[in-house]
Structure 1
Amino acid sequence: MSDFELMTVVGKGGYGKVVMVKKVDTGKIYAMKILSKASMISKKKNDFEKEMRTREHDSSSHLAGLINIDKALYKHWLVKSTKAERRVLEVVNHPFIVKLHFAFQTKENLCLVLDFINGGELFSHLASQKVFSESRAKFYTAEIILALEYLHAMHVIYRDLKPENILLDLNGHVRLTDFGHSKDEFSRDDRSFSMVGSPYYMAPEVVLNKGHGKEVDWWSLGILAYEMMTGLPPFFDENTRLAYQNLLTKPIPFPETMSEDAKVMLAGLLDTDPKKRFGSVDPPEEVVRLNGETAGIAQKWNQNWLSEVNWDRLLSMEADPPFKPKVKGITDISNFSSHFTSEMAKYDQGAAAAPPGAEVLFEDFAYIAPVSDTMFSPGSPNKKSPPNSSPFADIPPLTSPMGVGAKVQTNTSHETNWQEGE
């Protein structure tokens, strides 16, 4: 941890927090996601002890008392999801996905060092503005389509698309973040039966535990696009059980003000049959091979609502976003909640020490991104650190840009045109 100066807390979750940090030797600003091993392992052991007590009362079970908690920890969803997030972030390299620069563990914590994107969450912008114009919602939807198509091509399902997990960089482009629910090494015909995701954004096949694939991401995109244009998810209810019932039984409540093209797009994304859902059928491989990635995407997403999208300009980030957050510079934290930023940024060393063996649980966690990273490459093998050493020793300063979100620039909010030919 001595390689980084902790500056400001910008987010918190059930098992850790996100802190803006500065790398001491280069002065570069990053976001460090710090996950408490003690909190995670406590949760895991509580889950398994509960399961053991349940089985001990089941006279028909021959497994009572046979669970070895330490071994079972390796298969617990929290361990698996943390390892999956680390694996996914290592290999993905895309303009609309947050980038991992370093990963390491201490006795107490797991640390992921990522791009610091300070334009704010899509959630906070939507909450303050209530609704977005169709044009603005379309821009974000198109950039997210490119990010999801890339992930699916990398055999990754995101599984947690929601406004809170979408950041805006200082130019107004999206960045997907938080891959804790993602599923990697997933083939086209594979099915997962885990009930993961966030209420209001889960697809019917997840709620019904029918087994799911990449189609769940397109359902979540439909929910998100609807929410951006109306202010709430289509099947919203404060009672999540009723919300699940709504998505299984009720039609999509389209407002009269929504365009017909948008309604068709949303109805296709929110088809309860995953096989018929927009995005579920890929274009012929020959189209992509002969004409390129964006040609395949243009054919696949040949919907009237997206007809004006120039996919090449969008992917190359030449398209001007319709909105630019107010950001004064790389260390500006004004787009983060004061509930987080008012907290003192400190490393709670020894405050909640992880039990013995925790380091083995997350072996091979350390990672350093190659200095020569180029955008869109599928990634490269881990660069491991020697045992018991700083993972940053003898590594030259990074010379490649941290991403669009690293540029120091002062912007004011405004609308711009980003569509085909302009």
Structure 2
Amino acid sequence: MEPPWLDDDLRSISFNSTTTTTATDINRSTSSESEATWTSSTPTKPHALSGDPCWDAIRRSGSLSLTDIRFIQRLGAGDIGSVYLANLKSSSAAVFAAKVMDKKEIASRNKDARATTEREILEVLDHPFLPTLYAWLESPKWSCLLTEFCPGGDLHVLRQRQPCKRFPESTVRFYVSEVVVALEYLHMLGIVYRDLKPENVLVRSEGHIMLTDFDLSLKRDLSMSTPTQLFPNHNHLNPPPPTYHRPLDPPKFTSSSCILPNCIVPSVLCFHPMRKRKKPANYGGPEFVVEPVDVRSMSFVGTHEYLAPEIISGEGHGSAVDWWTLGIFMYELFYGVTPFKGMHNELTLANIVARALEFPKEPAIPAMARDLISQLLIKDPDRRLGSMMGATAIKHHPFFHGVNWALLRCTSPPFVPPPFCHHEAADNGCHGTPVEYY
């Protein structure tokens, strides 16, 4: 029997109306639609899904419609829809995260002519730290994506359950390492993620991570990006000695491109992001770098506390914004707060572009961690770690000493969620294994 709350929230979805999810941008809204015909599509990489019980259930079901899906509970909601725990009525054992999106809301928010839809992003992904797209359903107004469900919830909720609401160094290194590899893969596909934060990093059943929510991602034609480059190699066994950076002097005022209507720091910001890059130091033999580090966008997108200075300046940004957000992400995992948060959003933006990075006295974190965060949070994107050599430079930082990048999937996770009882969740929820997205 369907749970009583389905009447108010999900019954309309099963019979041709819906709401959607995004968990990031700045405005929120919901909407509904009248009855429409749904069409379904399945991934073009069935070989990669061989033996996956969710894929097997999809394949056995043949052509799907929204009425073939049973919505169990809502996992999260945002400005263009909602994400639900769901399964197929023909196979209750296979559970999915069903994301139902309003196409009109997607189009109105997608002001970047070169950006793309989340479905188009997901259908090209094939990586252990990124979502598996099993199927999508389309109507003239709505899209429903069926992707992998992660029973461990997100890192924001998991961090809040830790002692003092912070992760220890070994845990931070584990999660940041996997995020670096995921971002490297996205950049190689010409995708700038633009929305890294703990809420968008989910924990799979085996404890490894999965990035989610690609609503704000930018996908570029690889032919427009930098081809494979050859750089000097940073020796794995004998890395160069670390450099400790004093806080950078604020960039001098050069234009009036600041987007803040009442900028409280008029003497800073508005640096030009296209200054000539420094050549990487020579530490050994050649290193191949295939990330398209020169993709550009003028969009103002993201979460306020995670926005990079070049996004705020409005003068264009590229894949270096993902390395800035990695620095904010790492800082938050260590300290439980973000470094530039102000009393309100405008002050937060002003802090990002003007205030020097500071580290709290407590808790004390390793010097290598502070150095990595400092190099990721350099305000000038051309001087930021990763801007020239992408993830290659970041992987060689001493903070990651001992990380076997080729065997991350074989590393024991710091947290493995208990088995999720999706049968019980359909009635009363599975107590003891709460799942919270966003």
- The bucket for the TM-score relative to the shorter chain is 0.5 to 0.7
Equivalent AA in structure 2 for residue 22 of structure 1: N
Per-residue CA distance 1:12-56 (angstroms, 9 max, x = gap):
112211111112344421111011346x28x94xxxxxxxxxxxx
Question: What is the Cα deviation at residue 329 of structure 1?
Answer: 4.4
The aligned residue for residue 229 of structure 1 is: 334
- Over 3 Å counting, the alpha-carbon distance change for 1:214 and 1:299 in structure 2 is closer
Q: Displacement of 1:84 after TM fit?
A: 2.3
What is the TM-score when the length of structure 2 is the normalising length?
0.62
Given that 2:151 and 2:420 are in contact with CA atoms closer than 8 Å, whether structure 1 keeps it comes out as no
Query: Where do 1:190-201 residues align within 5 Å?
Result: 190-201=295-306
Structure 1 residues 152 and 20, CA, compared in 2 at 3 Å: closer, same or farther? same
Look up the SS of the partner of 1:91 in the other structure: coil
Query: What SS does structure 2 have at the residue aligned with 1:2?
Result: helix
CA–CA distance in structure 2, aligned partners of residues 337 and 95 of structure 1: 21
Residue-by-residue CA offset, 1:213-249 (whole Å, 9 max, x unaligned): 0000000000000000001001112311111111212
Q: Deviations over 1:52-102 (max 9, x none)?
A: xxxxxxxxxxxxxxxxxxxxxxxx627979942111100011111111111
Residues 128, 210 of structure 2: 8 Å contact kept: yes
Distance 2:114 2:302 in 1: 12
Among all aligned residue pairs of Structure 1 and Structure 2, give the percentage whose two residues are the same amino acid.
34
Counterpart of 1:35?
101
How many Å apart are 1:336 and its aligned residue?
2.6
Are the aligned partners of 2:112 and 2:298 in contact in 1 as well (CA < 8 Å)? no
Range with greater deviation from structure 2 (320-329 or 154-163):
320-329
Aligned to 2:287: none
**Partner SS state of residue 309, structure 1:** coil
* Mapped contact 1:193–1:212 kept (Cα < 8 A): yes
Q: Which residue of 2 aligns with 1:204?
A: 309
> In 2, Cα distance between the equivalents of 1:81 and 1:10?
30
Alignment of 1:123-138 (within 5 A): 123-129=156-162, 130-138=165-173
Tell me which of 116, 127, 139 is aligned to 2:149. Answer: 116
Change (3 A) 1:78 1:204: closer
Deviations 1:134-187 (A, max 9, x none): 111111000000000000000000000011111111222111000000000252
The one-letter code of the counterpart of 2:323 is W
Shift of 1:199: 0.6
- Cα pair 2:135 2:147 within 8 Å, conserved: yes
Cα contact 2:114–2:220 (8 A) shared by 1: no
- The yes-or-no answer on 1:140 pairing with 2:140 is no
2:410 aligns with one of 309, 314, 318: 318
Q: Does 1:307 align with 2:401?
A: yes
Q: Shift in Å at residue 281 of structure 1?
A: 2.1
Check conservation: 1:33, 1:112, Cα contact below 8 A.
yes
Q: Distance in 2 between matches of 1:223 and 1:267?
A: 10
Q: Report how far residue 337 of structure 1 moved.
A: 4.5
Question: Which residue of 1 is the match for residue 122 of structure 2?
Answer: 89
Helix, strand or coil at the partner of 1:277: coil
Displacement after TM superposition at 1:3 (Å): 2.3
**Would the alpha carbon gap of residues 10 and 78 (structure 1) be closer, same or farther in structure 2, given more than 3 Å must change?**
farther
RMSD between aligned alpha carbons?
A: 2.4
1:6 aligns with 2:96: no
Q: Determine which of 249, 253, 267 is the counterpart of 2:358.
A: 253
Partners in 2 of 1:153 and 1:24 — Cα distance? 38
- 1:298 CA displacement: 5.9
Structure 1 stretches lacking a partner, 5+ long:
45-75, 284-296, 341-422
Higher relative contact order (CA 8 A, sep 6+): 1
- Indicate yes or no: 2:217 matched with 1:178: no
Residue 166 of structure 1 is matched in structure 2 by 201
Q: Determine if contact 1:281/1:300 at 8 Å carries over to the other structure.
A: no
Q: Which moved more, 1:235-244 or 1:131-140?
A: 235-244
Cα distance in 1 for residues equivalent to 2:332 and 2:193: 19
Partner of 1:396: none
Contact 1:234/1:252 (8 A) holds in 2? yes
Q: Cα offset for 1:8?
A: 1.5
User: Displacement of 1:330 after TM fit?
Assistant: 5.6
Q: Is the 8 A contact 1:81 1:181 kept in 2?
A: no
Confirm or deny that 1:152 pairs with 2:246.
Answer: no
Mapped to 1, the partners of 2:325 and 2:117 lie a distance apart of 20
The code of the aligned residue for 1:282 comes to M
Q: For residues 436 and 383 of structure 2, what CA distance do their matches in structure 1 show?
A: 40
Instruction: Give the whole-Å Cα distance in 2 for the aligned partners of 1:37 and 1:153.
Output: 28
TM-score normalised to the size of structure 1? 0.64
| Residue type at the aligned position of 1:322 | P
Which of the numbers 260, 271, 289 marks the counterpart of 2:378? 271
1:81–1:180 Cα contact (<8 Å) kept? no
For residues 83 and 103 of structure 1, what CA distance do their matches in structure 2 show?
A: 16
Note the alpha carbon deviations across 1:96-146, whole angstroms, 9 max, x for none: 111111112135521111001111111111123211111111110000000
Aligned-pair distance for 1:276?
1.6
- 1:301 to partner: Cα distance: 2.0
Question: Structure 2: 5+ residue runs without aligned partners?
Answer: 1-65, 226-291
Residue number in structure 2 paired with 1:336: 435
Moved more, 180-189 or 149-158: 180-189
